[in-house]
Every structure is written in C-alpha cells, then in structure tokens.
Amino acid sequence: MKKVGNSSCNDGALLRMGLNDNKAGMQGLDKEKINKIIMEATKGSRFYENELKKDQQVNQRIEKMMQLKEKITTQQLLKAQLQVDKLVIELEQSRNLSSTIVHIDMDAFYAAVEMRDNPELKEKPIAVGSMSMLSTSNYHARRFGVRAAMPGFIAKKLCPHLTIVPLNFEKYSKVSKEVREILTEYDPNFMPMGLDEAYLNITEHLEKRLNWPEDKRRFFFNTERTTEKGIAPNTMLAKMCSDRNKPNGQCRVAPERQAVLDFLKDLPIRKVPGIGKVTEKMLKALGIVTCSELYQQRALLSLLFSEASWRNFLDISLGLGSTHLEKDGERKSMSTERTFSEINTAEDQYSLCRELCRDLAQELQKEGLKGKTVTLKLKNVNFEVKTRASTVLSSVSTEEEIFAVAKDLLGTEIDSVAPHPLRIRLMGVRVSGFLSEEEKKYQQKSITSFLKSGKEISFLRLHAGKSNPECFTKNSEASPRGSFFDKKRAARQLNSENPPNETVGKQLFHDKKSSAHFVEETKKVTDLQNSNMCKIFTCPVCFEEQSSNNLEELNRHIDECLSGSLVKDTMEIPKNDNSRESTLNFLPQIKSENVDECQNKVDQLAGTDQSACTSDSCTSSSTEKFTQIISDKPHRERQPSNLSDIARNVCMKQCLLPKRISEDNEDLFEKTVHTEETSSSCFFEAKGDSVLVCPVCNSEQKTNSLVSFNKHVDVCLNKGLIQELTEKKDFPKTYNTENSNRVGGLIRGQQCTNPSQGTKRSGLTTSQSVSKKAKSSNSKNTIDMFFK
DNA sequence: CGGATCGAC
DNA sequence: CTATGTCGATCCG
C-alpha cells in the first residue's frame, strides 16, 4: 500500500512534466487523429462487421420504442404522471441521508503496480494486457487514446512506443490485499468490487472517531495519491463522486437533499453506474442526456420501459441509492471460457470442451458446489455469440457429469451447421442452478444413491418406456418450443438407441456427420437421470405420480411421505388428467381476492385516482362492450405479468374502459384498408348512418372515424379527470412547464395564466417542491395554477 | 427454463 | 496475425 502510494506520488508530477515535455515524444494525439487511426485498424474486420450488426439491432430497438411513443395518448401520459409522482413522494419520504459512504477507486491499478515494480516504466506509456486485449493503461498512454478494453495491436498503432506488460494477477491480488487490510480499519464490513475498487460505510467509524484523542486522528488515505475518493450519502453518489476529478481527485456530496440534486443536475446519465452505451443511446433518442432530463421525462419513461428500468431511472434522477453495504450473497454461477484462433474440427472442439469442463469441475469442487444447469457458450469467427443451456435432474459437479451435458449441446450445434464445419473462436462452459443449503440436505440421502446401487428401478416408472411417442407429446406440451429442443431430444433418442460404447471414442470424431452420436464412456445412470424422458416418477411411499423435474423436490416429497406429513397435501393434488386440465383452465382467471389486492395497490400507487375512477360512469351498462381497451395500450403488448401490471390495468380499466370504443366493436365499425406503395394502413369507420355519441359529454359527434372519435373522448376524459384531480389537495405538484404546454394544448379553452410558464425549470428543481414544499402552498408550479 | 443482452470490473 | 474473462440482472418468449 505504502509503495503504491509512493510511486503514485510521482505519477502526478510526471504527468505534468509529460504535458510540457516534448523531448519525451509523448505529446499525445488529438481525438480526431485517435479516431482516425482506430477506424483504419478496425474497418473491414469481422469484428467491425459484427459491431455494425449489433448497432443496427440497437437502432431497431430504438425504432420500436419510438413507435410505441407515437401511440401514447395524452391521458395515458397524464395517468402515468400521477402514478409516478405518487411514487416520487414515497421515495422522497424514504430518502436516507444519514449514512456516509466512501467509494475508493485506485486509478490505473495494474499499471501502477507494474510501474512500482519496474520504475523504468514510470516515464513511458505503458499498458497492461496482451496484443489482443488491454486491461488498463497509464496516463502517458491514455494521452494517445490507449484505453482499457482496447486490443493491444490497435494501441500499438496509436502509440508505437507503447510498452505492453503482461497481466500478473497474483501480484495485483497481493497488493489489493494489502490495501484492503487498511480499509478494514475504517469499515470492517467494506465491500470490495474487484481488485481496485471498494465501498466503505464509514458512518460508524466517524462516530467513534469523534471520541478519539487528537494524536490518534489521521487523515484518510493521506499517502494515497492515485486513489479516487467519493464521499456521499449512498453508494451510487459515492461512485459518481470518485469518477469526478480524475486523476487523483476527491469529491464529496453533502448529506443534504439540495446538494444531491445540484450534483445531479447537469450530470450526463452515462456517468451513472448501470447506464451503459446502449441505454445511453436509447435515452438520447428520447432527448434525455442529463439526470435532470431523466427526471423530467419520468412519466414517458414509465410507459416505454419495464418496471425495473424506469424505477431505476427514477431512483437515479432523485439521487437515491443503497445506504448500506449488503454482503454479496451466494454465488449463482461459475464459468470458464477461452478465446483461441479458429477451431473448426469436431474433434478439437470436443476435446476443448472436455478441457473446459475439467477446469470448471476443479473450481466447482473447490467451493463444494453442484449445479443443475449447464450452459455452453460459443462465439463463431464472425463474433456472433450463442449460448445453449440444459437443465438436468441431478446436479452436476465432476468433469464427466458436466461434459456429458455439454457435449450434447455442442453436438447439436455442430449438427445445426452441418455439412459446414462449426468455426469458432471462443468456447465457454457455465454451471448454474446451485442447490440451496436446504436442498443439499435432501440431495445426500437421495434417489441417486439408490439408483447407483443397482439397476432396480421398480418404483421409478419410466413412462417413456411404455410409449415413446406419448412421452414426446408430453414433453413438447410442457415446453412448446422450437426446433432446437426437438432436435436435442431427437439426438438423445438416437443416443439411447445406440447404447454407450466405450470403444467408440476417437473414431467418431472423424465422422462429422454423425457427431450427434458422439458418445463417450458416459455413465448410464447419469443419462437416465438427465434424460427428459423420465419426467414422471412414482413415489415409492404413497405411489402417487410426481411430476417434478427436480430431484431434490422429489426426495423431499419422499421424505415427507415417509414422515407422514404429506398426506393432506397429496389429497389436493389433481390425480388424473381431467382434473389437471380443469385446474389449468382455472389458473389464468383472476380471483376476486386478487382484484382486491390489485385495487389496494392501485390505491397506494395512485391514491388520488380513486375518486376519479369510481365517481362516474364506471358502472355504465355499456362496460361489457369495451373489453378490449386494455390491449389498446400501446406500450404493453404482453399480458399482465405481475402485480403492478395488473394494478395498472385495473386502474386503466376503471377509468377508461367504459368511455372508449375499441376497434373490436365490429357491430359498430367496419374496417377499411388503404394500401399505398410502401405501407398499408387501416381505418375504422362507423357503419352506415350510425351517429357516435360521446359517453362522457353525451354530445353527438360529427365524425364517423374511430380515431377521431376516440380522440374526442380522450379530450373529454382529460377534462373530467383533471377536475377530479384538482379537487384533491395532496395532488403532487410537479408539473413543469413542458407538461403544462402539452396538456394545455390539448384541452380547449383552458389556458395557462401562470406567469412563470415561459421559464424553463429543471425537473429536479420541481421535484424539490414535491417533497417538503408541497404542503406549503407557496409552490407556484402547480397544476392548480394551470387549470383553475 | 433458455436465450439474448446489458453492464460492471 | 491480433477485439478478454466472469459474474449478476433483466427481458422476452
């Protein structure tokens, strides 16, 4: 630690010297030159072609999003604004500024360690890594555009004098460990993020420190010059702090709400941890670049993005983050992968696969882990990545067990491109689906041992054995998926028809066409367990069929049967196909309790909406005519999948359902399709001489177009909704100028008289009025002002 | 559950 | 010549 500190003390001085010293030949390059050189080295390569392809995919995502955006109606936006702002209030109330979190980031860590060990390097531009990939670079090199995640051969073009030092993880780990020992002093529970980063919660330390005698107090990290510090009330802010003022910076956000908002105001979203290249681009397409813009567009975002995403956006724009450092939980997966120059023969691919399995098995056993899912990862020479996974009944951990699964996956992929060779540049194997502690217990006294002990499987009824076709149907019902798994099953079927032959081994490698038949000395028992064909077991205790595909669950069932505790439960399990079917039919229906639950959720989320929803025509007799309104929502094509989606739907239903007419009312409308050169569009028009009457204002409408009519209903609805809302005193007062323009533009005869309308306000400033000033009526930026 | 993607280090 | 390795999370089907 101290050594790192010393070497890095000079770093700043050297850097400053370098800036003025052209003798060293390190004047660097300007951005334009850098980009030009990178482009020349890049374009035309397979890598670049794939980058372009990925870019196109992102563009398509953006296009889809923009189409959704077009379809959003004003009242949907308004509605969303209400719900989101309700949430904003809750979030504000839960804001916690009482912790002090520090983020430590050791700058160019690997490079700093290498320079410490070889002082000659200090004055040179260096990078750590290889010709194919760099992990980091020092500041001399960065002036030439040499950066982490850049291949070394391109870096060399940018900076011909660049010294590339190979990675030496053991060394970095050792230094990292030394640093961590010091961090422990300040927070014994600090959270390391990789070798060169950590979060510390120094709240308690600061309290203790107050009582320390003067001579015991030291400054934090006062010898550490390459370390970035971020000090803030939560992890997200601390991390963004440490990014500021690089290199050698320190930054602090005071534990005050306003300080947090000021910090975020003009901060580009890309600086936020969790917002990467793609998200940045998507948001940019919506005109969002800074955190305050993120806040301003919160309603729109809630309609265009998933719940998890927009809630995260909201947290970000409010400057909320975790205030305590959670220990990272149990590991969820373990993997190993390798990049190599093209491998295209099945033989090499299988032996490589086995090698990876061997390495992985070794690591798994170090941690005593067993997993049920094996995933094979392949990257072809065009840089296209594929993953193929298979979940088996009994968890695996040994080389043989993992390979038994992985080789099937690989075989399927080889076959899928046959007769062409599979040309790959990377292969990886991952094991996941680890047993929980509880499951481990059941795994020990398992069926496995019973099976392994002999060939007696009388209690394990192999349904597939009775009638293979039937079994296949059953499986494809359970997983109505495409060709891949059908092929896989077919391959397995073939395998089981050609019993494992210990002598096959290598000869088969040469027979590319039959690589699916590739079978090594795989244990029969494992195959039996892993086979998807035997999904239905008969419990040896209660003789009930068990359809779980999880060995541990089965064992648990048997245990419980043995102890007699399951008697009651089994009575409730449907016993024949008929009753099972009726259960399935029943499942998708929403129970009345669920609706109540949803309503509660809606009340929570949208409190003020309630009165708007229940007050008028929700009881309209025409309700049943308009059941399709939910599918009218442009931003959710899928069925409600979680509570808040359902809640949202219930809310939409109550407020809007009786009032609009959908395209499904075929008795009222007929569809006309207009075809043009590039596209065709369809319109819905009222049949014959029917006159459309607005269900809100009761007036006859001149139009016979569904679109125009619904537009009118929207406008009417907005009027009613807003009246309801403005009667509510605790309505969130967060409408900014932009919103008011939009809403005001839609509602005729309602003009904004607020003098402050023209002045642009940041969303964050208005959010300030949400929390504390909302109660006092001195906030001018209220919806009341706009609509009274 | 499986597959693709994103994001971080 | 030559564009990483590992992990968790999330979304969608």
Nucleotide nearest to A193 (CA to C1'): B9
Mapping DSSP to helix (H, G, I), strand (E, B) and coil, where does residue A187 land?
Answer: coil
Is any atom of strand C within 7 angstroms of residue A695's beta carbon?
A: no
Provide the 8-state DSSP code for A498. S
Residue A671: how many other CB atoms lie within 10 Å: 11
Tell me the CA–C1' distance in angstroms for A305 and C12.
13
A288: left (phi over 0), alpha (psi -120 to 50) or beta: beta
Tokens encoding A467: 């009638």
User: Mean pLDDT across the stretch A65-70?
Assistant: 97
Please give the protein residue whose CA is closest to the C1' of the nucleotide C7.
A333
Note the helical H segments in A607-728: 609-614, 643-656, 706-727
pLDDT of residue A685: 56
Provide the edge-to-edge strand list for the sheet that holds A126-129. Answer: A134-137, A126-129, A163-165
User: Mean pLDDT across the stretch A33-44?
Assistant: 96
Tell me the CA–C1' distance in angstroms for A242 and B5.
28
CA distance A722 to A750: 11
Mapping DSSP to helix (H, G, I), strand (E, B) and coil, where does residue A232 land?
Answer: strand
Please give the protein residue whose CA is closest to the C1' of the nucleotide B8.
A274
CB-based burial label for A453 (10 Å; 0-12, 13-18, 19+): exposed
Question: Does an H or E element contain A424, and which?
Answer: strand A424-434
CA angle (A176 as vertex; A170, A177 as ends), nearest 5? 90
Tell me the CA–C1' distance in angstroms for A312 and B6.
14
CB contact at 8 A, A757 and A787? no
Note the helical H segments in A43-168: 46-71, 74-93, 109-117, 139-142, 152-158
- On whether the pTM is more than 0.85, the answer is no
Provide the 8-state DSSP code for A328. P
Tell me the CA–C1' distance in angstroms for A206 and B2.
48
Nucleotide nearest to A409 (CA to C1'): B2
Please give the protein residue whose CA is closest to the C1' of the nucleotide C2.
A132
Mapping DSSP to helix (H, G, I), strand (E, B) and coil, where does residue A546 land?
Answer: strand
Nucleotide nearest to A149 (CA to C1'): C4
Residues 431-460 on chain A lying near strand B, CB distance under 7 A:
433
Mapping DSSP to helix (H, G, I), strand (E, B) and coil, where does residue A254 land?
Answer: coil
Residues 594-653 on chain A lying near strand C, CB distance under 7 A:
637-638
Is any atom of strand B within 7 angstroms of residue A640's beta carbon?
A: no
List of residues 6+ apart from A244 with CB closer than 8 A: A230, A251
pLDDT in tens, A703-731: 666 666 666 666 555 554 444 433 333 32
Is any atom of strand C within 7 angstroms of residue A430's beta carbon?
A: yes
**Scanning the structure block, which residue is given the tokens 């309609």?**
A303
Tokens encoding A252: 């602090």
- Binned at pLDDT 50, 70 and 90, residue A182 comes out as very high
Nucleotide nearest to A194 (CA to C1'): B9
Is any atom of strand B within 7 angstroms of residue A54's beta carbon?
A: yes
**Scanning the structure block, which residue is given the tokens 């309790």?**
A593
Is any atom of strand C within 7 angstroms of residue A135's beta carbon?
A: yes
Tokens encoding A549: 């595909």
Measured CA to CA in angstroms, residue A733 lies from A292, A529, A571 at distances of 17, 61, 56
Q: Which residues pair with A682 in a beta bridge?
A: A673
Largest CA distance in chain A: 94
pLDDT in tens, A207-265: 999 988 887 776 555 444 468 889 999 999 999 999 998 877 889 999 999 999 999 99
User: Mean pLDDT across the stretch A755-771?
Assistant: 30
Percent of chain A with pLDDT over 70: 52
CA distance A344 to A347: 9
CA distance A485 to A463: 19
Nucleotide nearest to A333 (CA to C1'): C7
Q: Is the pLDDT of residue A173 over 80?
A: yes
Tell me the CA–C1' distance in angstroms for A281 and C12.
21
Tell me the CA–C1' distance in angstroms for A640 and C13.
15
User: Mean pLDDT across the stretch A484-491?
Assistant: 37
Do the strands A126-129 and A163-165 form a parallel or antiparallel pair, or are they unpaired?
parallel
Tokens encoding A526: 């494992």
A747: left (phi over 0), alpha (psi -120 to 50) or beta: beta
Tell me the CA–C1' distance in angstroms for A721 and B9.
49
A606: left (phi over 0), alpha (psi -120 to 50) or beta: alpha
pLDDT of residue A114: 98
List of residues 6+ apart from A36 with CB closer than 8 A: none
Tell me the CA–C1' distance in angstroms for A277 and B6.
9
Tell me the CA–C1' distance in angstroms for A348 and C5.
21
CA angle (A31 as vertex; A29, A36 as ends), nearest 5? 90
Residues 268-307 on chain A lying near strand B, CB distance under 7 A:
272-280
Q: What are phi and psi of A537, to 5 degrees?
A: -110, 155
CA distance A734 to A783: 8
* A281-296 exposure pattern, b = at least 16 Cβ within 10 A, e = fewer: ebbebbebbbbbbbbb
- Binned at pLDDT 50, 70 and 90, residue A543 comes out as low
Tokens encoding A596: 């109540």
Tell me the CA–C1' distance in angstroms for A154 and C10.
33
Nucleotides of C under 7 A from a protein CB: 1-13
Q: What is the dihedral of CA A469, A470, A476, A482, to 10 degrees?
A: 20
Nucleotides of B under 7 A from a protein CB: 1-9
CA distance A299 to A202: 36
CA distance A465 to A538: 14
pLDDT in tens, A319-366: 999 999 998 889 999 999 999 999 999 999 999 999 999 999 999 999
Is any atom of strand B within 7 angstroms of residue A53's beta carbon?
A: no
pLDDT of residue A119: 97
Please give the protein residue whose CA is closest to the C1' of the nucleotide C4.
A133
Please give the protein residue whose CA is closest to the C1' of the nucleotide C10.
A308
Do the strands A227-232 and A250-252 form a parallel or antiparallel pair, or are they unpaired?
parallel
Tell me the CA–C1' distance in angstroms for A194 and C7.
11
Tokens encoding A431: 């094991």
Is any atom of strand C within 7 angstroms of residue A485's beta carbon?
A: no
Range name among A364-378, A458-472, A558-572 with the lowest pLDDT average: A458-472
Q: Is the pLDDT of residue A384 over 80?
A: yes
Cis peptide before A640 (omega within 30 of 0): no
Tell me the CA–C1' distance in angstroms for A532 and C12.
24
Range name among A85-89, A429-433, A640-644 with the lowest pLDDT average: A640-644
CA angle (A362 as vertex; A356, A366 as ends), nearest 5? 145
**Scanning the structure block, which residue is given the tokens 């955006």?**
A69
Is any atom of strand B within 7 angstroms of residue A64's beta carbon?
A: no
CA distance A513 to A500: 18
Residues 226-255 on chain A lying near strand B, CB distance under 7 A:
239
CB contact at 8 A, A412 and A516? yes
User: Mean pLDDT across the stretch A738-742?
Assistant: 29
What rounded mean pLDDT belongs to chain A? 69
CA distance A41 to A147: 15
Tell me the CA–C1' distance in angstroms for A103 and B9.
14
Is any atom of strand B within 7 angstroms of residue A195's beta carbon?
A: yes
CA distance A686 to A739: 33
Please give the protein residue whose CA is closest to the C1' of the nucleotide B2.
A389
Tell me the CA–C1' distance in angstroms for A334 and C6.
8
Nucleotide nearest to A150 (CA to C1'): C3
